[in-house]
Amino acid sequence: MEYGQVYEALFETIANEAQAIAMRYFRAEELRVDRKGDGTAVTQADRAVEEMARAKVAASGLALDVLGEEMGGDDSAAASTSGRARMIIDPIDGTEEFSRGIPTFGTLMGIELNGEIVAGMASAPALGTRWWAYRGEGAFRNGKRIHVSNVDKLSRAMIFTTGTGPKKNPAMRTKLRQLADTAKNGRAIGGFWQHMLVAEGAIEVAVDLTSQPWDLAPLGIIVEEAGGRSTNVRGERTIYTGDLVSTNGKLHDEVLKILA
């Protein structure tokens, strides 16, 4: 199946409207930031984008369930193997950044079928950039095919991570520092953008350790279709364990050895 033919129009329609909604509120005085039960930020833009996306899915004629950050759905790994395709959406990934006027936020969409992500898009309105991939069809940024880098030594690599703040497990903080010390350069930024930088060959390693399925759904397929690897810290291809390590492939085993 050519998944691009099936899902491209839906992705583009949602991304275009999500961009209009997000940019209407970005750095605007009327933006209101609330806190959910877990302390994470949510704005009226998050809710409006997800409501719009669900309406577009319903009107698309495609047999798709929906799992979203703001309006829920079954977020278990078991639900992913039900035999029915579903869209997993994060209406605004990086709400903290969005609410502070930082442009590294985006709308994330992934199509999951029988436990496998078969299509994905990450749209970053304030950066003017979209990345997408369809299983077996390559990865693209604004219409141009992208590839991971050829760096084959961690000592020559640039890595991005979620950082080593107080919420991190102390043992993992130590491992992240070890990884940063081994690499040539390191930054703590987190979020979807770092994985897109791996896919387009700007950096070699991205590590997220505290994420939900909607934070991760389209990232792995984009990295993989660009020639890299995306797994959890145990080397499993899954979005359901809260962590994701993306690399250019050449460094993956070495990175996992440090983090495992």
User: Residue type at 94?
Assistant: G
pLDDT band at 37 (very low <50, low <70, confident <90, very high): confident
3-12, 62-71, 158-167, 212-221: which has the minimum mean pLDDT? 158-167
* Residue 65 · residue 110 · CB < 8 Å: no
Q: Please tell me whether residues 116 and 10 are part of one structural domain.
A: yes
pLDDT digits (tens, 9 = 90+) for 80-135: 666 789 999 999 999 999 999 999 999 999 999 999 999 999 999 999 999 999 99
Q: Please tell me whether residues 141 and 20 are part of one structural domain.
A: yes
- Which run of H or E residues covers position 225? helix 219-225
Q: Please tell me whether residues 136 and 27 are part of one structural domain.
A: yes
Q: Using the predicted structure, report yes or no on whether residue 25 has a pLDDT greater than 90.
A: yes
Sign (positive/negative) of CA torsion 25, 30, 31, 36?
negative
Dihedral of the CA atoms 16, 192, 77, 3 (nearest 10)?
50
The pLDDT assigned to 233 comes to 95
Task: Name beta bridge partners: 246.
Answer: 206, 230
d(CA 175, CA 56): 42
The pLDDT assigned to 14 comes to 98
Q: Please tell me whether residues 200 and 223 are part of one structural domain.
A: yes
CATH of the domain at 90: 3.30.540.10
Nearest by Cα to 46 from 22, 30, 17? 22
Q: Please tell me whether residues 16 and 132 are part of one structural domain.
A: yes
Q: Using the predicted structure, report yes or no on whether residue 260 has a pLDDT greater than 70.
A: yes
Q: Please tell me whether residues 12 and 125 are part of one structural domain.
A: yes
CB atoms within 10 A of CB 101: 11
Q: Please tell me whether residues 16 and 65 are part of one structural domain.
A: yes
Location of structure tokens 């693209």:
140
Domain range for 253 is 154-259
Which among 100, 118, 145 is the end of a domain?
Answer: 145
